[in-house]
Structure 1
Amino acid sequence: MLVLDVSGSMSGDPISLLSKGVNQFIQEVCQDDFASLAVEVGIITFGSTVDEVTPIQSILGISTPTFSAMGRTPMGAAVSRAIEVLENRKQQYQKHGVPYYQPWIVLMTDGEPTDEYLKAAAQLRELAEDSKMLVFGIGIGDHCNLKKLAEFCPANRPPKKLAEYRFREFFQWLSQSMAKVSVSTPGTGVELPNTKGWDTIQI
């Protein structure tokens, strides 16, 4: 689940590069024989409103999304919606006895929450620390409040700052990560590619 900040401060190059990066990610995963069949993606944006731009579905069925920047930063409401959607999806899999990978939430923002976010942050952090979700907090630009973004993330995976506006490199890393996970067995650990190229601090 991509949970993306489209507030007014993202206008200009950031929102344009974000759109290109997301579309590149979709295209690259679709070109991978295994990942294209295994990966489901949903996209939730938060700005003037919280919108489920892309309901969670097979990546092969996703239409190319475009984003526009306006409004404030209701990050708490967006994260609550993402958790609800992903938990419902997991319940569907459990009901039908389908093995699944724990979902990933990629939370990208260039600012800080402007709504009541503490409950959502605590819930997401708890899910991550219980290994029920993988959470990646990504800070964009020089004005992102990484301290507040860290409240959404588990202690062992603090947020990372995107070097400059390297959305293309980040989403390339994400597609490579999806390719590695898609050929693994659900429930087993996977060593992810190095984040060199998009991150100011590598893992």
Structure 2
Amino acid sequence: MKRRPGGEISSRPLHFIWIADCSGSMSIDGKMQALNTAIREVIPHMRKVADENPNAQVLVRAIKFSSGAQWHISQPTPVEDFNWTDLKADGVTDLGKALSMVAEEMKMPPMSDRALPPVLVLVSDGQPTDEYSKGLSELMDQPWGKKAVRIAIAIGEDVDEQVLEKFIGHPELKPLKANNPEALLKHIKWVSTAVLKSASAPASQSDENSGNYTNVPIPVPSNNASISSTDVW
């Protein structure tokens, strides 16, 4: 790790985790393909944000959930080395299992006390088929889980938005609604750039929470009204 003059370590780890719904319904009307395309397209933008914020070392990975959950990209990967492998859709929607697995990664160790607040991005098009509240409770029991910036993107009309709101756990943040590929890309880009930039900025680097929800100033979300109203999903 590079050090500044005087011995101060120059960067702190910022963990960015995609939590992706890969249930069978994601195969309908190209939703899975649109998600794969959107994440792949925003990687260069994420790298640019990381380049402009040398105080943070952005580490990306992804977990997928359908019938059970597993790490799609298990190792925290520096964003400059990060590449996306397409997800495939099949099975049910075991969100709780995914949240439990993320909760394990929010413990210390493997998390460092020097880390910046993680960014957790949940993308789903349906309703949990397992006891999601148990996994969410495990996540929120971890200090880094509670401090994390938690964003949710709702694909289509069949999402249980109350579940996503509970995951977000912030009174001023609502799930971002995506009813077509254009909207999904816009939301994916917003969380990959504006939110990432805010999380890696010096204002987020205090060791104590400055508010009840997160010490990261959340930027204004992308406006649904400015996106094409054509509903595909």
Q: TM-score, normalised by structure 2?
A: 0.72
* Residue pairs, 1:161-172, within 5 angstroms: 161-165=176-180, 166-172=183-189
**Cα offsets for 1:119-175 (capped at 9, x unmatched):** 112233455898422222222110001123333331525541413231210121112
Q: Unmatched 5+ residue regions in structure 2? A: 1-16, 227-233
- 2:152 is matched with 137
The number of residue pairs the alignment matches comes to 195
Give the 3 Å change call, closer, same or farther, for CA 131–100 of structure 1 in structure 2. Answer: same
- 1:77 is matched with 97
The aligned amino acid for 1:122 is: S
Give the 3 Å change call, closer, same or farther, for CA 53–157 of structure 1 in structure 2. Answer: farther
Judge which range, 159-168 or 28-37, deviates more.
28-37
- Does residue 219 of structure 2 align to residue 193 of structure 1? yes
Query: 1:136 touches 1:153 (CA, 8 Å); kept in 2?
Result: yes
Which of structures 1 and 2 has the bigger CA Rg? 2
C-alpha displacement of 1:190: 4.2
Identity %: 23
Give the 3 Å change call, closer, same or farther, for CA 68–191 of structure 1 in structure 2. Answer: same
* Residue pairs, 1:56-135, within 5 angstroms: 56-88=76-108, 91=111, 93-94=112-113, 99-125=114-140, 131-135=146-150
Query: 1:8 touches 1:70 (CA, 8 Å); kept in 2?
Result: yes
- 1:2 is matched with 18
The aligned amino acid for 1:4 is: A
Secondary structure of 2:35's aligned partner: helix
The aligned amino acid for 1:176 is: A
The aligned amino acid for 1:194 is: V
Q: How many Å separate the matches in 1 of 2:140 and 2:188?
A: 23
- Does residue 179 of structure 2 align to residue 154 of structure 1? no
**Cα offsets for 1:83-114 (capped at 9, x unmatched):** 112325653x23xxxx2211121112111111
C-alpha displacement of 1:54: 1.1
**Cα offsets for 1:39-67 (capped at 9, x unmatched):** 11110011234121112221122222211
Query: 2:32 touches 2:88 (CA, 8 Å); kept in 1?
Result: yes
Q: How many Å separate the matches in 2 of 1:42 and 1:89?
A: 17
Q: How many Å separate the matches in 2 of 1:30 and 1:113?
A: 32
Aligned partner of 2:33 among 13, 16, 24: 16
Query: 1:122 touches 1:152 (CA, 8 Å); kept in 2?
Result: no
Give the 3 Å change call, closer, same or farther, for CA 129–161 of structure 1 in structure 2. Answer: same
Q: TM-score, normalised by structure 1?
A: 0.82
Give the 3 Å change call, closer, same or farther, for CA 178–117 of structure 1 in structure 2. Answer: same
C-alpha displacement of 1:118: 2.0
C-alpha displacement of 1:177: 2.1
